[in-house]
Amino acid sequence: MSGFFSRLEERVRFCGSSLCIGLDPGPEDLPEPTAGAALAFCLDLISATADVAAAFKPNAAFFEALGPDGWAALRQVIASVPDRIPVILDAKRGDIASTAEAYARSAFDYLGAGAVTLSPYLGLDSLEPFLSRPGKGVFLLCKTSNPGSGDLQDQLLAGAPAQRLYERVAGLASGWNTRDNLGLVVGATYPEALARVRRIAPDLWILAPGVGAQGGDLEAALQAGLRSDGLGLLVPASRAVARSQDPRRAAQELAARMAECTQTAMNRTGSGVYDAADHDPGGEGGSLPAHLTALADRLLDAGCVKFGQFTLKSGLVSPIYLDLRQLISSPALLAEVAVAYRELLAGLRFDRLAALPYAALPIGAAVSLQGGWPMIYPRREAKGYGTGVAIEGLFVPGETAVVVDDLATTGGSKFEAIERLTAAGLRVRDVVVLIDRGSGAREALEAAGYRLHAVMTLRQMLDRWDREEHVPPEQIAATRAFLGTTN
Final residue in a domain of this structure, among 222, 253, 269? 269
Which among 217, 251, 269 is the end of a domain? 269
State the pLDDT confidence band at 142, using cuts at 50, 70 and 90.
very high
pLDDT (tens digit, 9 = 90+) per residue, 194-204? 988 998 899 99
Among 92, 136, 313, 414, the active-site one is: 92
The answer on pLDDT for 348 being more than 60 is yes
Shortest CA distance to 373 belongs to which of 400, 397, 334? 400
End residue of a domain, out of 269, 299, 317: 269
Residues 425 and 292 in one domain: yes
348 and 438 belong to one structural domain: yes
DSSP 487: -
Count of all residues that appear for the chain in the document = 487
Measured distance CA(450)–CA(176) in Å, rounded: 38
For residue range 3-49, list pLDDT tens digits in order.
899 999 999 999 888 999 999 999 999 999 999 999 999 999 999 99
Per the prediction, the chain carries an average pLDDT of 89
Q: Is 74 left (phi over 0), alpha (psi -120 to 50) or beta?
A: alpha
User: ∠ CA(396), CA(398), CA(402), 5° rounding?
Assistant: 90
**pLDDT above 90: percentage of residues in the chain:** 68
**Domains in the chain, number:** 2
> Could you tell me if 263 and 281 lie in one domain?
no
Residues 131 and 47 in one domain: yes
Query: Does residue 143 carry a catalytic annotation?
Result: no
Q: What's the confidence (pLDDT) of residue 448? A: 94
φ/ψ of residue 432, rounded to 5: -120, 130
Determine the average pLDDT of the residues in 239-265: 89
In which domain, by residue range, is 286 found? 277-483
* pLDDT one-digit tens code per residue, 295-326: 899 999 999 999 999 987 667 889 999 999 99
